[in-house]
Amino acid sequence: MAYPWITALPGSRIRGELEMSLRQAGLPIPDMIGVLSLEFGREMLLDGQYLWMLPGSVAAVQQARGELAVLPARPALRKSPLAAIWRRDRPSTRQARAFAAQLELAIQADSIALAA
């Protein structure tokens, strides 16, 4: 692998799955830099030559801005669990309730798509 990769942090589920899929394909594990911040990853990409593992929706926005090119490779990673946590001792705001409602709709739509 010619370029270092910007990926999730070491020990994260996504990074572990990525490394396992590379090993199973008989490929070497490239040099990887774990990054949490989109801004930091973007700055690294602007300063050097890297492959950056991003969610597809984020990569599409960056590509539309002309900041990167999306490669056709799609590693087979499982969807991770999602959690939203609110404090019981505080009433939720209208925005939080709207977010929770949209999250529920997205989960239902995904469940329908997976069942089809």
Q: Is the pLDDT of residue 116 over 60?
A: no
Q: What is the DSSP letter of 31?
A: P
The first and second tokens of residue 72, run together, are 């056709």
| Burial tier of 99 (Cβ tally within 10 Å: 0-12, 13-18, 19+) | middle
The alpha carbon of residue 58 and the mean position of all alpha carbons in its chain are separated, in whole angstroms, by: 8
pLDDT at residue 114, as a whole number: 55
- Local structure of residue 5 (DSSP, 8 states): E
Residues 6 or more apart whose Cβ sits within 8 Å of residue 68: 45, 52, 59, 62
The per-residue pLDDT for range 23-75, each reduced to its tens digit, is: 998 999 999 999 989 999 999 988 999 999 888 888 899 999 998 899 887 76
Pick 113 or 31 by higher pLDDT: 31
